[in-house]
Amino acid sequence: SKVKVAINGYGTIGKRVADAVTMQDDMEIIGIAKTRPNYEAFVAHDKGYNVYTLADRVDDMKSAGIPAAGSIDDMIAEADVVVDCTPGGIGEKNKALYEKAGVKAIWQGGEKHELAGCSFNAEANYEEALGRDFVRVVSCNTTGLCRVIYPLDQEYGVKKVRVTLMRRSADPNDVKNGPINAIVPNPIKLPSHHGPDVKSVIPHINIASTAVKLPTTLMHLHTLNIEMEKDCSTEDVKALFAKQPRIRMIGQGIGSTAEIMELGKDMGRPRGDMWENCVWEDSVTMYEGELYFFQAIHQESDVIPENVDAIRAMTELEKDGAKSIAKTNKAMGL
């Protein structure tokens, strides 16, 4: 029988995890939880998901036209794994609920490492999550960094990473955040916490980061500079990246994040998503013994296949990380 998955918090990340789980043959969605009967709740209902809600809002859901299947507690009682995709900081409050129900739980990058005690990236530390009750899938930026740093470290030994993160200031559906016309160093005090979050997955990596917010909703862009222990050439790095299962080498006249998002739509990806790191092939350069390159990260979707792999590791449906990655990728069309 399939592993039963519940999604608590059906927003940007939650709705994508629900659809990705549905595409797998070894797991299924038994319900999703929304706090309000908005358009996303109606779409979930129309897609055939059982829509659950907060205990005191079940009647509101019903009167709005969604025959709610019950409360979040009811949903959790039915699940083997809950994927908590509530806004950063809220998920922490749900831990007691999951412990009480004896259900496994996955949190997202907005929560602290200590909450789960295991921060996850499928390529870098799949085995660490085997059989675990609690796992945190790291943020979109940390996921993107792990995917390039881990193989470089395995192959050449990473001595030091320096990265500047140019961050989208809001998701496309977000009308509350900004700026809409400024460049914001964030944080101003350096280094930023973003890069060092990689250490929650690969503890020995030496990494420093700076970050700025830009008036765009289309992807994050990283400028990386990496020193390695062993000698390697530009061609070596390009070849290493090209064979990674979740890195896409970008060329063909693509010169911006806007064109990458257009590519995702042209490829017929659900919601135009780009699940892979997008590394500009022509940017990959060894210069005076150090590596430089640009990569773009689709914040709304790069963590989605990682959540699927985390479910598989925690429930031990598959013990081999590379096999899980291949299975997830094939089912999603990645």
Work out the end-to-end distance of the chain between its first and last CA atoms, rounded to an integer number of angstroms. 25
User: How many residues comprise the chain?
Assistant: 334
Tell me: does residue 191 bind ligand NAD (CB under 6 A).
no
In whole angstroms, the minimum distance from the beta carbon of 12 to ligand NAD comes to: 4
Residue 235 is classified by DSSP as H
Q: Judged by CB under 6 A, which of 64, 90, 97, 254 binds ligand NAD?
A: 90
Site for ligand NAD in 28-47 (CB under 6 A): 33-35
Tell me: does residue 195 bind ligand NAD (CB under 6 A).
no
Q: Judged by CB under 6 A, which of 5, 13, 27, 311 binds ligand NAD?
A: 13
Which three-class secondary structure state does DSSP give residue 147? helix
Alpha-carbon span 74 to 83, nearest angstrom: 15
Give the amino acid at 319.
K
Cβ burial, residue 223 (10 Å; 0-12/13-18/19+): middle
Site for ligand NAD in 158-177 (CB under 6 A): 171
Question: Which of these is catalytic: 85, 140, 146, 278?
Answer: 140
Tell me: does residue 73 bind ligand NAD (CB under 6 A).
no
Alpha-carbon span 133 to 96, nearest angstrom: 13
> For ligand NAD, which stretch binds (CB under 6 A), given 84-92, 268-276, 277-285, 319-327?
84-92
Q: Catalytic site residue 140?
A: yes
Minimal CA–CA distance to 94: which of 74, 85, 130, 16?
85
In whole angstroms, the minimum distance from the beta carbon of 103 to ligand NAD comes to: 15
With beta carbons less than 8 A apart as the criterion, state whether 292 and 81 touch: no
Size of the site for ligand NAD (CB under 6 A): 25
Which three-class secondary structure state does DSSP give residue 58? helix
Tell me: does residue 178 bind ligand NAD (CB under 6 A).
no
The residue sitting closest to ligand NAD, measured at its beta carbon, is: 11
Chain centroid, CA 316 distance in Å: 20
Which three-class secondary structure state does DSSP give residue 5? strand
- Block residue for tokens 């929560």: 111
Q: Judged by CB under 6 A, which of 65, 67, 88, 131 binds ligand NAD?
A: 88
Q: Judged by CB under 6 A, which of 20, 44, 75, 86 binds ligand NAD?
A: 86
Alpha-carbon span 314 to 256, nearest angstrom: 37
Four-residue CA torsion sign, 104, 107, 112, 113: positive
Q: Judged by CB under 6 A, which of 6, 7, 116, 140 binds ligand NAD?
A: 140
Tell me: does residue 121 bind ligand NAD (CB under 6 A).
no
Q: Judged by CB under 6 A, which of 10, 98, 126, 275 binds ligand NAD?
A: 10
Tell me: does residue 109 bind ligand NAD (CB under 6 A).
yes
> For ligand NAD, which stretch binds (CB under 6 A), given 11-19, 112-120, 207-215, 267-275?
11-19
Alpha-carbon span 27 to 212, nearest angstrom: 38
Which residues are catalytically annotated?
A: 140
Site residues for ligand NAD per CB under 6 A: 8-14, 33-35, 85-88, 90, 108-111, 139-140, 171, 299-300, 303
